[in-house]
């Protein structure tokens, strides 16, 4: 039966204030059923307070073939990391 | 108020609630490894565990009321069918997935009304257990009503299967709503709701979901079965034989 059902990606918020994190996927006939399946599969041990589901087919992913074009240009721009600033001794929390 | 009730009556009443959850939980447990999809397997097992959890709390309480040293395990595993007080609908075999859903829906809708009322019981311990069970039951009903609508309003095949199951199980619903002397005694003491007040609420809720599921309420006559008085259909004994086999063969066995 589940072969006929589309795949949904599941995102769980562990606690109020935290972001939803991807935890896995479930098969379901529609979004309502996907929420129920996610609840039964991924929150059995009190892992969450909120669930998002989204059809996997609705997710647009970057193409691995384009990885060089997309990510390589950032490699030689280490100055974008804020590690070149002298931090005054007086600053405790940064 | 509850202290004026004979302990034996309170014991019997709590057993009715406990056994209905226990037997239904055991039935759902039979699906583990056999459900149509992995996700449904987990869903049914989760509901089974909720029900067995309710049964444990209720059986422990019943044992305390009885005061003869029987704990939840002794009550679950060392009683025979005629001593079980579950409503007859709970013990009906799983059949196909659709039939299990119909049985579950009819009982979820009933347990929801019952626990809602019991949460205000004059018996504080019962009220506490009901309040906890109520949250679980709301989810159970969401699950079973959702599936009933999907199957009823699904394909011609799924519609036919749940219609058939509904017709076959409908006769067992009269017992849920027909009070006997014990129900009346509990209602009079404020421990339990009068079943007459549950009937219109249950019927209204069931009618609503059946309509959405494009299912007709069966014409079939309902019959007052007496599972809650210990008079069971032939199915309970077979189920108990499997459920009780291990603790009876190896008394005191531990993991």
Q: Mind listing the pLDDT tens digit for each residue in B41-60?
A: 999 999 999 999 999 999 99
Q: Mind listing the pLDDT tens digit for each residue in B217-245?
A: 998 677 888 999 999 999 999 999 999 99
- Dihedral of CA atoms B167, B169, B171, B176 in degrees, nearest 10, equals -140
Chain B touched by A33 (CB under 8 Å): yes
Instruction: Please tell me the pTM assigned to this model.
Output: 0.89
- Close Cβ partners of B123 (under 8 Å, ≥ 6 residues apart): B2, B10, B191
> Which range marks the domain in which residue B104 is found?
2-249
**Residue B149 host element (H or E):** helix B124-152
Cross-chain CB nearest to B37 (options A2, A32, A44): A2
Cross-chain CB nearest to A40 (options B42, B146, B150): B42
DSSP B225: -
pLDDT of residue B162: 98
Kindly state the average pLDDT of the residues B56-81: 97
Query: Contact, B50 vs B29, CB < 8 A?
Result: no
- Nearest Cα of chain B lies from the Cα of A1 at a distance, in angstroms, of 6
**In-domain check, residue B255:** no
- Nearest Cα of chain A lies from the Cα of B184 at a distance, in angstroms, of 38
Q: Token pair 């072969």 is at which residue?
A: A3
**In-domain check, residue B10:** yes
Task: Determine the Cα angle at A58 with ends A54 and A59, to 5°.
Answer: 90
- B42–A36 CB contact, under 8 Å: no
- Comparing alpha-carbon positions, the chain A residue that sits nearest to B39 is A37
Cross-chain CB nearest to A36 (options B36, B38, B43): B43
- Comparing alpha-carbon positions, the chain A residue that sits nearest to B46 is A40
pLDDT of residue B4: 73
CATH number among 1.10.10.10, 3.40.190.10, 3.30.110.30, 3.10.20.520, domain A2-80: 3.10.20.520
For chain A, give every domain's residue range. 2-80
**In-domain check, residue B148:** yes
Q: Give chain B's end-to-end CA distance (angstroms, integer).
A: 42
**In-domain check, residue B81:** yes
Domains in chain B, number: 1
**In-domain check, residue B194:** yes
Domain CATH number, residue B97: 1.20.1260.10
ipTM above 0.85, yes or no: no
- Comparing alpha-carbon positions, the chain A residue that sits nearest to B40 is A37
Among A40, A58, A53, A60, CA closest to A13? A53
Collapsed DSSP state (helix, strand, coil) of residue B161: helix
Collapsed DSSP state (helix, strand, coil) of residue B168: helix
- Close Cβ partners of A62 (under 8 Å, ≥ 6 residues apart): A70
Q: Token pair 């190896």 is at which residue?
A: B250
């Amino acid at each position: 039966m589940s072969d006929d059902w589309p795949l949904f990606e599941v995102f769980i918020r562990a606690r109020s204030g935290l972001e939803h994190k991807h935890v896995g996927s479930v098969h379901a006939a529609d979004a309502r059923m996907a929420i129920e399946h996610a609840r039964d599969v991924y929150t059995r041990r009190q892992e969450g307070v909120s669930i998002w589901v989204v059809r996997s087919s609705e997710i647009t992913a970057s193409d691995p073939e384009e990885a060089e074009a997309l990510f390589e240009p950032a490699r030689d721009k280490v100055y974008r990391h804020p590690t070149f600033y002298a931090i005054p001794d007086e600053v405790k929390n940064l | 108020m509850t202290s004026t009730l004979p302990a034996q009556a309170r014991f019997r009443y709590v057993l009715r609630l406990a056994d209905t959850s226990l037997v239904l939980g055991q039935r759902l447990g039979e699906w583990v490894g056999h459900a149509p999809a992995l996700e449904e397997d987990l869903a049914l097992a989760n509901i089974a565990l909720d029900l067995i959890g309710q049964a444990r709390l209720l059986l422990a309480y019943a044992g305390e009321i009885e005061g003869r040293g029987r704990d939840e395990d002794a009550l679950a595993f060392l009683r025979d069918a005629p001593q079980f007080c579950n409503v007859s609908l709970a013990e009906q075999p799983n059949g196909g997935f659709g039939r299990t859903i119909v049985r579950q829906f009819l009982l979820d809708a009933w347990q929801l009304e019952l626990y809602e009322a019991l949460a205000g019981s004059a018996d504080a311990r019962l009220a506490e257990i009901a309040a906890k069970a109520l949250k679980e039951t709301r989810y159970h009903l969401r699950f079973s009503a959702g599936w009933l609508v999907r199957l009823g309003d699904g394909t011609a095949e799924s519609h036919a299967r749940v219609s058939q199951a509904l017709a076959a199980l409908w006769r067992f619903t009269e017992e849920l709503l027909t009070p006997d002397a014990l129900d009346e005694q509990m209602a009079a003491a404020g421990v339990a709701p009068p079943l007459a007040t549950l009937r219109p609420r249950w019927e209204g809720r069931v009618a609503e979901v059946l309509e959405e599921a494009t299912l007709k309420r069966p014409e079939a006559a309902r019959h007052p079965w007496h599972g809650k008085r210990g008079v069971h259909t032939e199915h309970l004994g077979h189920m108990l034989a499997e459920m009780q086999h291990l603790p009876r063969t190896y008394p005191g066995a531990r993991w």
